[in-house]
Amino acid sequence: MKKLVIISGVSGSGKSTCLGALEDAGYFCIDNVPPSLLDDLTRFIRNSRVDKVGLVVDARSIIVENKWGIPRTFKGLDTFTIFLDCDTEEIMKRYQYTRRKHPLQYGVSMADAIKKERELLKPIKDMADMVIDTTHMEPRKLRARILEIIGRISKQKFSIFMESFAYRNGIPVDMDFVLDVRFLPNPFYIPNLKNIPGNHPEVKNYLKNHPEVMEYLEKLEDLLLFAAKKYVDQGRFEMSIAVGCTGGFHRSVFVVEELAERFRSQGYEVVVNHRDMEG
């Protein structure tokens, strides 16, 4: 079946980066598609030799046509919708850096323009197959994430995406599970471990020597493996898990690595990202 990937999201969140990734993956891509043309475009795709298409639908065309109009299903096409979100403050920083105006910023402040855009795009976000928060994501990492996602869409293979993060830098908004490990013993207060990340053998040995750490891992493994099986039964292709500690450097990294190893031993494909470990 021919594949259609729809990209939408708030302005400044990285839609152009996603479209570029799709093009590099062999997709025929079209930017800023008016909703009224989607039916005609669907017929074109079905009757053409093109087998992989990427579309961007944003708030500009929705305003022009006074409708949001993305169907939940496209007859004869294998469709997947990705919505990109981003913190308002970060969007404002990005526009200030590029010295560009927000596309809806006509006679209103940028903050009000972003708020209006979120209202317009809410129906698309609510029906999206996946929401990705790009607030702390560099373009190269977003590109890699999109390529990884569409690779799995092609294979129709279930996988688990795991990310460590620092609570002080904000909670990821696009995850199925958000786990807090700030109550575990903190290697930060051990002088010879303070500057060593959670995937280092010395830090791992330190945490593994605390019974409460291992007990918590066992409970998490049982819960998440149960959830993974249910996700597969429902036909979903990914389960996303975020694990947070204060600095995103020790405990969250350790727990993500340990859980990933356990999931892989059960035959699951696991993708790991340590969002704040370098910072």
Domain limits of the chain?
2-155, 159-274
- Mean residue pLDDT across the chain: 88
Contact 240, 161 (CB under 8 A): yes
Q: What percent of the chain has pLDDT over 70?
A: 93
Are the C-beta atoms of 232 and 216 separated by less than 8 Å?
no
Confidence of residue 211 (pLDDT cuts 50, 70, 90): very high
* 125: helix, strand or coil: helix
What are the Cα distances from residue 1, in Å, to 26, 154, 233, 235, 256?
A: 16, 10, 22, 17, 35
pLDDT of residue 62: 62
Residue 34 has pLDDT above 80, yes or no: no
Place of tokens 């996946």: 130
What is the distance between the alpha carbons of residues 68 and 66, in angstroms, rounded to a whole number?
7
- Helix 139-155 × helix 15-24 angle, to 10°: 50
Q: How far apart are CA 80 and CA 233, in angstroms?
A: 18
Order of strands across the sheet with 77-85? Answer: 28-30, 52-56, 2-9, 77-85, 130-133
Q: What pTM does this model have?
A: 0.65
User: What is the rounded CA–CA span in Å between residue 271 and residue 47?
Assistant: 36
The whole-number pLDDT of residue 180 equals: 97
270/262 Cα distance (integer angstroms): 10
Q: Tell me which amino acid residue 212 is.
A: E
Determine the 3-state secondary structure of 131 from DSSP.
strand
Fold of domain 2-155? Rossmann fold (3.40.50)
Give Cβ neighbours of residue 69 (< 8 Å, ≥ 6 apart).
35, 36, 38, 62
Contact indicator for 59, 11 with CB cutoff of 8 Å: yes
46-79 tens-digit pLDDT: 888 888 899 888 877 665 555 555 665 577 788 8
